Structure 1
Amino acid sequence: MVKNRVYFLSFLVVLGFLAVIIRLFYFQILNRDEYLSYIKKQYYTKEKIVLPRGTFYDSNGKILGISIPTIDLFVIPRYIKDRNRLAKELSYIIKQPYSKILKKLNSNRHYVVIARGVDKSLKKRLLKLRRDLQEWNLGLIESSKRYYPLNQIAGSTLGFVSRTTGKGMEGLELKFNKKLGGGTGSILLMKDALGNPFTIEKDQKGTKSYDIKLTIDSNIQFIAEDVLREFVKERKPKEALILIVDPNNGNIIANATYPNYNPNKYWKYKSHRNISFHSAYEPGSLAKPFVLAEAIDEGKVSFTKEYYCEEGKIVVDGIKIRDHKKFKYLKADEIIIYSSNAGAIKIALSLDYDKFYKKLYQLGFGDSTKTFPGEASGLLRKDKRPVEVAYASIGQNWTATPIQIAMAYSAIANGGYLLKPNFVKEMIDRETGETIKPEKIVLRKVLSEKSVKILRKVLEDVVEIGTAKKGKSEFFTIAGKTGTAQKYDPKIKALSNEKFYTWFAGYFPAENPKFTVVIFANEPKKIRKWEFIGGGTVSAPVLRKLVDRIMFYYKQKPDKNGGRNGNKNSQRD
């Protein structure tokens, strides 16, 4: 009997141990993750921190955008001994209003962030303050923030990084998010039995990132912005830009835009558009050289013949299209040099319309270059009605972005090749130091050798004796074309005689091009009442200051051997 009881009790004990072992197996093996998650919820709270990301440099190694270490300050209000004194001392150190800090210290919450993005150089003073006041529930968390040393210089191109997510939101910061890294990580604040944080543990590390050396030359960028600033002050346009590209490789050297913004204070600006990429405009007479190029390729133009330019107006499909001057007879090159609408239209109407539109598409119009986030494509429709071909030939019924214009004119400068625009000189792996250098991307051959040879001479004459004469330099040869496009005015439901887009697009030095330049203004104002608004009177004059300053910065010797003298007057367009 006793023996049976012993066996029975032993059986119960063994059974109990087995139950405990099975239960432990269930908790520690089968449901381990679930219970760890539950424990973390009970004993930890997460706080986000902004992770550092790669640095932007200009082409010479000057810093354009960098993540600098910062501090986030937090407190556990209920355990602060002297809130008034702490608020006063913190206000003095971090330069924030005393009342704002005190309000946070008087909060009923268990955990309050006093300030984010505090300069890390203040860390020693803050730690000393905590020690002196013995306010051990004042906490410091290391974080980072994006800083742009040159402020608004190239601001609309660089873009900015969100203060909360640590990710690029606009511009090149957005374009290269994956390469630059950053974003947010998190730290774990352990909580006591009452739910109050009392210590910190790391929870997440940053991802692989690169430093990026851009093609932008900050010195050229500064010159472009300085010249543009003077222009805007004088002409008061709604928008304006100076875009500079290397025509030999597609590298974007400078991109000055108005409006612009300071990415260090991006939240203070309503718009973050970069009009060189985000906006498309009618190109006006900038289209005319490409009409001539197609005519050369089709053998539809003679340079000895004189074309009757209808003395100021031409009628196509019953629609009257006006010229900016009453030209009578002009040769083919003079039609471009003095920018005759009637002459360009007559040449265009002699072309194979399919080939004409194909030429414009091949030059990159109607398709985004895919260089910049949110880039526009412009609008180019293949409409073969004679009146639509006429308007297309003078750039009045289609739109293009400034970057498309820059690359099309670069094709004239580099021998006929359309290149893909590029912002990256090299990328450097922050861990290994490995360098990646992108190669030049040639999209296609778009202009024949014959047309390039003729166009380059014609465009040099445009600046020396034609519509861009007001912009010629005394020291350096420049080639290019002016453009003017009337804006549609919804109030009068017609093209305005007061509101215009004005352009200059070209390259320099003319014989050995190193820079392509696009100068644009949206609704520039008259300086004098009698003045005609046009590319020749508004955009071209910007050239002289810009070209001379850039070439002297690069220590280039003047290539001018005396300007050509012409017997025609400079024109509005």
Structure 2
Amino acid sequence: MAKEKRPNIRGLITRRFYTFFIIILAVFLYLLFSLYKVVVLKGPKFRSEAMATYVKKRKIEATRGNIYSDDGSLLSTTLPKYRLGMDPSVLTGNAKADEFYKQHIDGLAAALANFFKDRTADEYKEKIAAARRSGRTYLLLNNRLLDFQEKKKVLSFPLFKEAKNSNKSGVVFDKINVRYAPFGQMAYRTVGYLKDLRDKGRVGIENSFDKELRGEFGEGMYEKMDNNTWRPEPGDEPKLPVAGVDLHSTLDINIQEIVESALLNGMKKFKGNYAVAIVMEVSTGKIKALSNIAANPLSPTGYSETYNYALLEARDPGSVFKLPSIMAVLEEKNYPLTKMVNTGDGKFRLYNGVMSDSHPLGTISLEQVIESSSNVGTMKLVQEAFGTTNNEKFYNYLKKYHLIESLDFQLKPSRKPVFPVPSKWDGLQLLWSSVGYSTQYTPLQILAFYNAIANNGYWIQPIIVSKATRGDEVVTDYMATQMRDSKPLCSPETLKKLQIMLEGVVTKGTANNIKGSVYGIAGKTGTAQRTVTGAKGYRKGNYYTTFAGYFPVKNPKYSIIIAVDEPKGNSEGTYARQVTAPVFKEIADRIYLRDMKLQQTLRGYLPDSLNKNKLSSTLHPADQNILFSHLGLPKVEENGQWLNFNLEKKTVRNQAITMTPKTVPNVVGMNLRDALFALENKGLKVRANGFGTVTNQSIPAGTAAAKNSLVFIQLH
């Protein structure tokens, strides 16, 4: 038997070793090549992508400019808010940091849970611990924005307060600028609003002057910390932003408060779809107040301001348009006010159209045509003056009166009047438009015309922002570019006739229910039938009511328009006489009472009409000089104190009010402006409800004033 050959064990092991070595070497060389490709060949690309993802050049927002009222009160400003985060990495890496973290983390988690009330203490502790274990350098603790007082409170939390500086505690406050309106909802839609400085839904002054308010962006390198947070890159020298300008509006906060209160009262009574009120200063065209309110079941009052009907909602103006029509007639024919017009049975028939008066008036004078708001009388006068061939001449009169082109008002967008050119007129256009139908106008367009009547015939463009400033420097004077006519709209004779008729509307015409004021009102009612969705033509009983006019009747200072869409009630109880004229008078009465320059100076004594009353009021220090210089009453020494004024049985008692430091002041009896001033100066937050003067405050006067406490005040 042959001898069996034994395997060479050593050779077998050697071969296997070399095979394994070659495989390992091949893998190593492959990995080495891959590393070379990543680091050397593709490294620049990857580094560039990483840089673009986590470090990039970003815009730096400029400080947005403030918006002021005419007396310098802040209507809108930018306040810093803070989002709380932390860098957990500073609490790791050595025994001292670990011990510091263990000692204070329970207290911090409990404080965060108690403050934010969105997680338990254990959840906050685990959130911080997980970020610490993963080596994260930034952790957003909560999305809520903190004000300055809340920021100070957070710094008093355990761990944060024990560390001598933020480099040891890891606390991070990301600053975010937000827009704040000190007067809350007052003039809300006019001033405008934005949720934050990046908001695309801004409106009002905030929108129309966004470029000026926004300023110029800066630019710098920022490192991305999480989805919402970026930090400046150390060592970078950014291009600094240029702050926006401050805008000075023409709005008067006191008149705005009066307007909003009166408009709300009218809407609560007549339940209209929406209501508009605008107050303009006659000689300057400055808008002193502008309010739009519409039904809103979600609002505490049932109404809110979400759309600028004054500029954007155009309607058939109705009888307020008779005045420009009669102005054109008087300019064309120079009729006397005594000219007689036969209105017959109160119906005017032309082709297939019939226009009616509210009731037959028979033969009346031209003056009575406006006083009684006769459709038939107006149409007959226009037909007699312009016939059927002078359509373009009538149109040119309206163009001269600024009733064809856009006002080019500062707030955008705004609507242009809808009035067809004569070449597109049908047989009814001339006469129907003369009484305010087959056309569309916004309330501001109509008011601008009536303001010219009050301003000795001179038309002036309405304006709501007077200037832009940076510090004490006037950057832009908008009054300098405001359009003003160098010639009056009509002759002095025509103007005088129109003023007589407008005064007659109130003393003996369709608005005689608001006569009797000591200062005198002139104006015109307008009750236009409105179209109804889904129905053809106009429907009786559905009205758009207007009252446009001015006061005082001699030397007018203010012009006002009130409009209410589709007031509810019986047909003849929802005319402008019942709906808008009383709102006009309420506004005019209250403006007259607060504007001492409109009133006759009383020489050293009070009239019996006042002496027989018991009067009391809380006065702001700045108002004392005005009050006492015009009423001749005893005066408290000028010491910057608030004042209780009391009058009873011809005896005047003035008592200075001492505001005790660090306590909640008594604001009952103050108006909203003064109450806000007194409370916010104590570091309190204020929420107001209602209009008028304060009747109740949620934190009693004399209570210790805890910073940032919320005070509810009720006005009536």
Both structures adopt the same fold (TM-score exceeding 0.5): yes
The 1-side partners of 2:230 and 2:359 are apart by 79
Matched, 1:433 2:468: no
Mark the structure with the bigger radius of gyration. 2
1:363 maps to: 401
Q: In the TM superposition, what whole-angstrom CA distance separates every residue of 1:259-311 from its partner, at most 9, and x where no partner exists?
A: 399xxx9xxx9984211111111110011111111111111634333111022
1:160 maps to: 193
2:642 maps to: none
1:319 aligned to which of 353, 369, 375: 353
1:535 aligned to which of 576, 582, 587: 576
- Cα distance 1:378–1:198, how it changes in 2: closer, same or farther (>3 A)? closer
Letter in structure 2 aligned against 1:454:
K
Q: Is the 8 A contact 2:293 2:305 kept in 1?
A: no
Alignment of 1:282-301 (within 5 A): 282-299=316-333, 301=335
- Cα distance 1:44–1:357, how it changes in 2: closer, same or farther (>3 A)? same
Q: In the TM superposition, what whole-angstrom CA distance separates every residue of 1:42-91 from its partner, at most 9, and x where no partner exists?
A: 76367877643111111111111111122132346899979986565335
- Cα distance 1:96–1:183, how it changes in 2: closer, same or farther (>3 A)? farther
RMSD: 3.6
The 2-side partners of 1:180 and 1:443 are apart by 30
Letter in structure 2 aligned against 1:149:
P
- Cα distance 1:75–1:498, how it changes in 2: closer, same or farther (>3 A)? farther
Higher RCO by CA contacts (8 Å cutoff, separation 6 or greater) = 1
Structure 1 residue 523 displacement after superposition:
0.6
Is the partner of 1:441 in helix, strand or coil?
Answer: coil
Moved more, 317-326 or 212-221: 317-326
Using structure 2 for the length normalisation, give the TM-score: 0.65
- Cα distance 1:66–1:317, how it changes in 2: closer, same or farther (>3 A)? same
The 1-side partners of 2:110 and 2:416 are apart by 55
Any unmatched runs of 5+ in structure 1? 1-32, 560-573
Is the partner of 1:245 in helix, strand or coil?
Answer: strand
1:90 maps to: 112
Letter in structure 2 aligned against 1:314:
F
Q: In the TM superposition, what whole-angstrom CA distance separates every residue of 1:315-335 from its partner, at most 9, and x where no partner exists?
A: 012321111111101111110
- Cα distance 1:166–1:553, how it changes in 2: closer, same or farther (>3 A)? same
1:412 maps to: 453
Matched, 1:544 2:585: yes
- Cα distance 1:190–1:178, how it changes in 2: closer, same or farther (>3 A)? closer
Structure 1 residue 479 displacement after superposition:
0.7
1:211 aligned to which of 242, 246, 271: 246
Q: Percent identity at matched positions?
A: 27
Q: Is the 8 A contact 1:473 1:544 kept in 2?
A: no
Q: Is the 8 A contact 1:337 1:462 kept in 2?
A: yes
Using structure 1 for the length normalisation, give the TM-score: 0.80
Structure 1 residue 530 displacement after superposition:
7.1
The 1-side partners of 2:322 and 2:438 are apart by 13
The 2-side partners of 1:318 and 1:444 are apart by 43
2:520 maps to: 477
Structure 1 residue 40 displacement after superposition:
4.6
1:224 aligned to which of 259, 266, 277: 259
Q: Is the 8 A contact 1:310 1:328 kept in 2?
A: yes
Structure 1 residue 395 displacement after superposition:
0.3
1:141 maps to: 174
Q: In the TM superposition, what whole-angstrom CA distance separates every residue of 1:378-406 from its partner, at most 9, and x where no partner exists?
A: 31113444421111011011011111111
Is the partner of 2:416 in helix, strand or coil?
Answer: coil
2:18 maps to: none
The 1-side partners of 2:564 and 2:600 are apart by 29
1:521 maps to: 564
Any unmatched runs of 5+ in structure 2? 1-43, 92-100, 602-716
Q: In the TM superposition, what whole-angstrom CA distance separates every residue of 1:86-139 from its partner, at most 9, and x where no partner exists?
A: 56533544x563379959878999754732642022333333435248784442
Alignment of 1:163-202 (within 5 A): 163-165=196-198, 169-181=202-214, 188-190=221-223, 201=234
Structure 1 residue 144 displacement after superposition:
1.5
The 2-side partners of 1:355 and 1:51 are apart by 53
Q: Is the 8 A contact 1:181 1:206 kept in 2?
A: no
Q: Is the 8 A contact 1:213 1:427 kept in 2?
A: yes
1:448 maps to: 491
Q: In the TM superposition, what whole-angstrom CA distance separates every residue of 1:191-239 from its partner, at most 9, and x where no partner exists?
A: 79xxx98876574533242212211100000001111111111111111
Letter in structure 1 aligned against 2:69:
D
Letter in structure 2 aligned against 1:152:
Q
Moved more, 445-454 or 459-468: 445-454
Structure 1 residue 161 displacement after superposition:
2.6
Matched, 1:391 2:432: yes
Q: Is the 8 A contact 1:72 1:142 kept in 2?
A: yes
The 1-side partners of 2:399 and 2:538 are apart by 26
1:20 maps to: none
- Cα distance 1:378–1:508, how it changes in 2: closer, same or farther (>3 A)? same
Moved more, 447-456 or 387-396: 447-456
Matched, 1:236 2:247: no
Matched, 1:373 2:412: yes
Moved more, 378-387 or 130-139: 130-139
Alignment of 1:25-64 (within 5 A): 40-41=51-52, 44=55, 51-64=62-75
Q: In the TM superposition, what whole-angstrom CA distance separates every residue of 1:442-490 from its partner, at most 9, and x where no partner exists?
A: 0464233221111011101111111111223421111110001111123
Structure 1 residue 498 displacement after superposition:
2.2
1:344 maps to: 378
- Cα distance 1:197–1:165, how it changes in 2: closer, same or farther (>3 A)? closer
- Cα distance 1:362–1:517, how it changes in 2: closer, same or farther (>3 A)? same
- Cα distance 1:347–1:235, how it changes in 2: closer, same or farther (>3 A)? same
Is the partner of 1:98 in helix, strand or coil?
Answer: coil
The 1-side partners of 2:54 and 2:566 are apart by 62
The 2-side partners of 1:114 and 1:204 are apart by 30
Q: Is the 8 A contact 1:167 1:182 kept in 2?
A: no
Structure 1 residue 429 displacement after superposition:
1.1
Moved more, 313-322 or 58-67: 313-322
Q: Is the 8 A contact 2:342 2:364 kept in 1?
A: yes
Matched, 1:131 2:160: yes
Alignment of 1:272-283 (within 5 A): 272-283=306-317
Letter in structure 2 aligned against 1:427:
A
Moved more, 37-46 or 62-71: 37-46
Matched, 1:120 2:159: no
1:21 maps to: none
Is the partner of 1:365 in helix, strand or coil?
Answer: coil
The 1-side partners of 2:199 and 2:59 are apart by 10
- Cα distance 1:234–1:436, how it changes in 2: closer, same or farther (>3 A)? same
2:79 aligned to which of 63, 68, 72: 68
The 2-side partners of 1:373 and 1:444 are apart by 26
Matched, 1:303 2:334: no
The 1-side partners of 2:117 and 2:60 are apart by 21
- Cα distance 1:166–1:486, how it changes in 2: closer, same or farther (>3 A)? closer
- Cα distance 1:519–1:558, how it changes in 2: closer, same or farther (>3 A)? farther
Matched, 1:498 2:541: yes
The 1-side partners of 2:533 and 2:53 are apart by 63
Q: Is the 8 A contact 2:279 2:560 kept in 1?
A: yes
Matched, 1:401 2:442: yes
